[in-house]
Amino acid sequence: MNFSDYFNQTGSLVKYQNSGDLVAVAKNFDVTILETNSLRVMQKYEFVDIVSHLEWSPDGVYLLIGIAKRAQAFVRSMEEPDWNCKIDEGLAGMVNCLWAPTSRHVITVSEFNVRLTVWSMIDKSVQYIQCPKHSGNQANQRGLTFSPNRKVMALIEKSSDGESRDLIGLYDLSAALSTNFRGPQNWKCLH
């Protein structure tokens, strides 16, 4: 049995691409993309602060890199090495970033659940969903889920009508997350 050399990493941030062809490893300010068969370095990126999140897009073309301390996320392409995308939540802060099933939209959750933001890499549009009840925790994605066919996003939201109740917002992903349907007035979020 053959073993590779040891690769240093930070915070268990080692993520395999869905196909298993590539693996991303974060160590402090750096992210290295390795070919899994040969461990040949394919790409290496350096950032201004410690990397806190790594996630491959569902189609494996893009890598999402989160730097929560700076409220920033970056997207790198495996097909076009010079292409990049920077997402900056600014003063709202960022506790989590994740891919929508489309592989072309990034979702960020601001500090204190002020808003959930959907960033489009297709047309550079930004959409805000106010008062989500998403945990924001990377390990525990409570309050946000996607349908099995990946066409609908369900999100628990705080009611904006002054009543202390929660709603389930259903968002149509095939319409680039622009259509919002809410349940009947008597629906309440169950624990």
Asked whether the predicted pLDDT for residue 125 surpasses 50, the reply is yes
Angstrom distance (rounded) from CA 180 to CA 95: 24
Q: What is the pLDDT of residues 3-19, one digit of tens each?
A: 666 667 777 899 999 99
| CATH of the domain spanning 1-88 | 2.40.10.480
Model pTM score: 0.85
Q: What is the pLDDT of residues 16-69, one digit of tens each?
A: 999 999 999 999 999 999 999 998 999 999 999 999 999 999 999 999 999 999
> pLDDT-based confidence at 182, cuts 50/70/90?
very low
| Closest of 79, 13, 68, 70 to residue 42, by C-alpha | 79
- Locate the domains of the chain by residue range: 1-88, 96-191
d(CA 93, CA 13): 21
Percentage with pLDDT > 70 across the chain: 82
